[in-house]
Amino acid sequence: MAPESAFEELLALLKRAHVLGTIGDLLGWDEQVNLPAGAAEQRAAQHAALAEVQHAAISEARMGELLVVLEGTEGPPGSAVGMDSGQAAIVKQARREYDRATKLPVAFVRAKAAQGSRGYHAWARAKAENDFAGYAPVLEKNLEFARREAAYLGQGENAYDYMLDKHDPGLTAAAVDRLFGELKRDLVPLMRAILASPVAARARGVGERLRGFPVEGQRHFLREVTERIGFDYARGRIDVSLHPFCSGTGSDVRMTTRYNPDQPLDALFGSIHETGHGLYEQGLPAAHVGTALSIHAGMAVHESQSRLWENQIARSRSFWRYFEPRWRAFFPVQMEGLSSDDLYLAVNAVEPTLVRVDADEVTYNLHIVLRFEMEKKLFSGELAVADLPVAWRQASRELLGLEPVNDREGVLQDVHWCDGSFGYFPSYCLGNMIAAQLWSRWRVLRPDLEADFSQGDFSWPLGWLRENIHAQGRRLSALELVRRATGEELSPRHLVAYLQERYGSIYLT
Ligand code: ZN
């Protein structure tokens, strides 16, 4: 069989699998936005039936045959013979998915899915009752499943690397270890200095005065902002859900937010965050939909997109120079007596918290360092599940200066481990590092960038991201993509420098 026709056939199979995936996205979105409470069972059955069809599509024997024909036919760079680098990336990604779908025994997949669902309920109960001991057997089992899964994929010796690579292709524990070690060294003293500043208390005070912001006004304002920064509402929408998220891709991107009249900045910044994810999905090349050239480069890069818009851009003075008059026009009564400086301070408030999802941009990364250190030790065997609560409290005290008095605000706070999603947490912090490194690069390429923001013009950053990140799909690993886009290896120094500059100018002058 000629490689050309094998490639065409492979594309057709991949596109079909992709379409099935988009149907799953839609079911999931609807479940969180619209589903009547009584329909949960019916939706679970729909998910299960679709998952079976999806699995069959990606593990079809024909897919395996085509991959064998195509592998090794990559031509030398620049040559007209054999596959080009884009086609090679498509084949490599298809192999990755095919192996994951075919190397795991069906009985294992079924047992793992059931364990994940049991795990969620066990976690929810344990958190409500502050009962880590009751939850520990679930974690033990999840670790065992993770190790077995890695072994089936030939990664038994490097199970944690395998887990990291699942979310961020190409990432290893050694790489994360080095990056987080450097970050921790520089971030801890900076955080302590900021928290000791008298300005920190003032920021809290201003935050407490932001009360009674009508939801309707919030909704209109955030729509204006997200549209202005480039979200295309002809190819997406925003709705309300309990936990904000962004799903879908290409011409149908679904974002959600949630409103609280007494925390008006939450819905706004949450929406800008999801818009960053949405812009990435809207910017993936439509011509290659369903293939590696049209999927994101991993969760760290995805998170970098949301963080850039949410933090570097939307928490800047220049951003608010443009949007503050609009904000005041929507909320004249609520903003009475609050100055521009007050608003800027509320937008950039820093306060240590035990709970990761409530953390500000300065302290957030240390929450992730803590989880990475726990995961690494769990996988190496250095830490036993039973010893997690004590290890967590100690690490929390060392890193954040706060010690949880119960496990609900400690080791039980996050959902991720209950279904075995180990290796996911690092993406959040790596995303922050990537965002800061892109930001630093921009300021070299376009020193007047913030003057554009003051005018309400965000076209330059979006255009640059479209070309250098979005258009690349998954051609490259996250680390390689960052290297090409910024001209240097990923380093935490840009994140530290950014935090130092922005927060230092507010808290340490
Ligand atoms: Zn995100």
How many angstroms is it from 7 CA to the middle of ligand 1? 34
pLDDT at 62 over 90: yes
| The most confident of 49-58, 115-124, 159-168, by mean pLDDT | 159-168
Say which residues have a Cβ less than 8 Å from residue 477's Cβ, sequence separation at least 6: 168, 169, 170, 171, 297, 298
1 — pLDDT class (breaks 50, 70, 90): confident
Strands (E), 122-272: 236-240, 246-249, 252-257
pLDDT at 71 over 90: yes
pLDDT at 116 over 90: no
170 — pLDDT class (breaks 50, 70, 90): very high
How many angstroms is it from 244 CA to the middle of ligand 1? 9
pLDDT at 78 over 80: no
- Taking only the tens place, the pLDDT of each residue in 188-205 is 999 999 999 999 989 989
- Taking only the tens place, the pLDDT of each residue in 469-493 is 999 999 999 999 999 999 999 999 9
* Number of other residues whose CB lies within 10 A of the CB of residue 464: 18
75 — pLDDT class (breaks 50, 70, 90): confident
How many angstroms is it from 457 CA to the middle of ligand 1? 24
pLDDT at 40 over 90: no
What mean pLDDT is predicted for residues 54-64? Answer: 94
pLDDT at 80 over 70: no
pLDDT value for 163: 97
List the Cα angle 418/426/488 in 5-degree steps: 165
For the chain, how far is it from start to end, CA to CA, in angstroms?
70
| Residue 81: closest CA among 3, 7, 8 | 3
How many angstroms is it from 431 CA to the middle of ligand 1? 9
Report the range of poorest mean pLDDT among 338-342, 350-354, 375-379, 462-466.
350-354
Domains of the chain, residue spans: 3-154, 173-507
> Which residues are catalytic, by number?
274
173-507 — its CATH code?
Answer: 1.10.1370.30
pLDDT value for 67: 97
